Amino acid sequence: MIYVSKVELVDRLGVEPNIVGTLHVTTSHVIFRSDRGSKELWGFESIKEHHSVDDAAKAIIFFSHANRDTVGVKIQIANGLIGSVERGPLTAAGCPLVIRCKHFQVVNLLIGRDKLCQDLYETLLRCSKIVNVCELVAFENRDGAEDARGWSRLDWAVEFTRQGVNHEWAENDLNESYQSCDTYPERLWLPVSANKTTLMGSCRFRSRGRLPVLTYFHKVNGAVICRCAQPLTGFSARCVEDEKLMELIGQANKNCDTLFLVDTRPIVHVFRCAQPLTGFSARCVEDEKLMELIGQANKNCDTLFLVDTRPIMNAMVNKVQGKGFEDERNYSNTRFHFFDIENIHVMRTSQQKLLEACMKSRTMSDYLRLLESSGWLKHLRSIVECSTFLADSILRGISCVVHCSDGWDRTSQTVSLAQLLLDPFFRTIHGFQILIEKDWLGFGHKFDDRCAHIGALNDDAAKEVSPVFSQFLDCVHQIMRQRPRAFQFNDRYLIIIHEHVYSCQFGTFIGNCEKDRKDLHLRKRTKSLWTYLDSRQDDYFNPFYEPTTFSVLSGIDTRAAAFNVWHALYNRFDKGLLPREIAIDTVMTAMEHVGVLESHIAALRIRIAELKSQFARGSNFCGNSMADSGHSSGTGQSEERLVSDQRQPSPESGIYDPTAYSEEVLTRLPVLWQSLRDASHCSSKTCMAEFASTLDRRIHCHRCGKVFCRRCVRVTIDERERICKECRKIIQICPP
């Protein structure tokens, strides 16, 4: 751990003055604390109770970056989020140091002395380039208990039962102990008519052993989405077994005799390949048979679509390397489709240019020029077009087999988006987690490589980094813009998931495949992100959600004008560029406020009824006492009883409510709440945490109406109210 004092935090946009403070670099976080802060808190403990800032940092690993738990802290970044560190030459103002984060935060610092800047630069590089996966922060963020609830989110059998998988498909032990494919899950669903010879032949014929397997079953018509990797065909190779498997996949759909094979690679690159290689003369009967079986599993259609998500030029280049794509002539009742989705290298460059447009453009012409040259929106459009094609094909009853090169990047993007369009369950908070667990974590998207969880040891490893999952979340956002009432979750949910994919504070996204996560014993050694998100579901709820209105999302607009830049993600930390209020937060606050006022009105009505009853009983008693002048000896007892009745209503009256508001609360509940647009800091005088962006959750106290951070508000035992510390003190003084 090191710390540097008299560091200046520079506003990137030049709107705010520089802030002087101290920068701490620990094994888990980079923390900037402004000098104006007189007290610092970590989690629920004071930093003074720890031997070092490093120990204190470890005590708060479980907290999100969005919850600043310190007075005067301006920046708090998990080391896993640091993407790059740049230092400039010494100037009269100091030595500039720029920290660029993977969740698109940019921290500009000025260090007084050149040597201090160099030491800090080297330390930050070491902290951001973890060599051993076990050194990640997630392995410090644990306790003795196993996080069973979060790590048991996906049960493959339960999920396929929910989808309504019929008797044409069954679980197969082909990949038990990952013996056939180490990047696939152990549990695979395949056509029941496929024998072991067919499956093993297809497995050998496909890149990385990733044969066609079931990922989605549409119970309405029996059509399915299967996923796989490219075949090892070369220029003339065939695999009869693979062809048979494709046939069986098509036959599993009894409602259609066609199978679509979709290649996501662009078709425009078809003529770039070199001269053909020789030596590829064998066909794979097993792969052909498996395709046949997949098609036969759909009894409603005799066609199978083979979808290759790659540009066809890329596919032809892969043929030179002994890989490539299927020959449609070898697969019966199969239709082949290419889609122009570029590879990871193009996407990496595209996002870099997009960020340059969002963060460095000074004029409108520069912004539009850089945005156009990035091609980012064009790539999003290609992914969504492929996904809508898959969804429309399934609705027509045609089964689809999808692959790209290795079947873990573009394939994961398109098949998961297609399922999002087809199945309303995946558009819920819980269902979206299941979708990610199944098609991203289960089927082996390489999160360690793509997200640079581990520092690249060479240039080849650095080229594996690509924003594939970020692109998927961006596509989900684009669809949510068109169908805002179809999703249970909001943009904040996507952005928080995006942040923690890179932060490495949780074990959920560590590892390249299911086998990696089991070998690392992440279930016992780390926390699950899903458990953390479950505890904050109210932050992610969409108030416009209508669960019964939208079953299938058809007619998604894929015209160029339908796609825009997701500034809430890419400019998340740029004050002044985003609205000070988010529409969903404003609606949620209004709904919550109405609920509080309605509860207050109900409490007032109960109190009025109590007073009326007491007044009526008092009037009747006085009338009876005056009429009965012969029992003067009992008058004192009756008056005493009247006073007692006026002090405490009787439970037998039918209007007694022991949980009613106190007199103090009934007279001080605010009708107006503080506006979100005016809330730049937590209202607690002992906290004053800054809301770094509009996405940081700002919570109202139900008793005073002021805005607080999550840490300064507590939910009552009956879960009816959120109350700040000051109001809790009043409640303790004036109990109901």
Which residues are designated catalytic?
Answer: 404
- Identify whether the C-beta of residue 390 lies closer than 8 Å to the C-beta of residue 304: no
Tell me if residue 291 falls in helix, strand or coil.
helix
Q: State the binding site for substrate.
A: 343-344, 404-410
Cα 67 off chain centre by:
17
Tell me if residue 75 falls in helix, strand or coil.
strand
- Half-sphere exposure of 175 toward its Cβ, with a 13 Å CA cutoff? 24
Q: State the binding site.
A: 343-344, 404-410
Tell me if residue 597 falls in helix, strand or coil.
helix
Q: Tell me the C-alpha distance between 405 and 434, whole Å.
A: 24
- Asked whether the CA dihedral 61, 63, 66, 67 is positive or negative, the reply is negative
Q: Tell me how crowded residue 434 is: count the other CB atoms within 10 A of its CB.
A: 21
CA angle 227, 231, 237 (to 5 degrees): 150
Q: Name the burial class of residue 227, with classes exposed (0-12), middle (13-18) and buried (19+) by CB atoms within 10 angstroms of its CB.
A: buried
What residues contact 77, with CB distance under 8 A and at least 6 apart? 29, 30, 31, 65, 99, 101, 105, 107
Report helix angle 429-436 to 491-503, nearest 10: 40
277: which 2 tokens? Answer: 């290689």
What residues contact 298, with CB distance under 8 A and at least 6 apart? 168, 221, 222, 223, 224, 249, 250, 251, 252, 253, 254, 255, 256, 259, 304, 397, 398, 399
Q: Tell me the C-alpha distance between 187 and 397, whole Å.
A: 26
Cα 137 off chain centre by:
19
Smallest Cα–Cα separation from 473: which of 449, 497, 500, 450? 497
Q: Can you give the length of the chain in residues? A: 736
- Half-sphere exposure of 441 toward its Cβ, with a 13 Å CA cutoff? 25
257: which 2 tokens? Answer: 């005799």
Token pair 């139900």 in the structure block, residue: 702
Strands 106-111 and 95-101: antiparallel
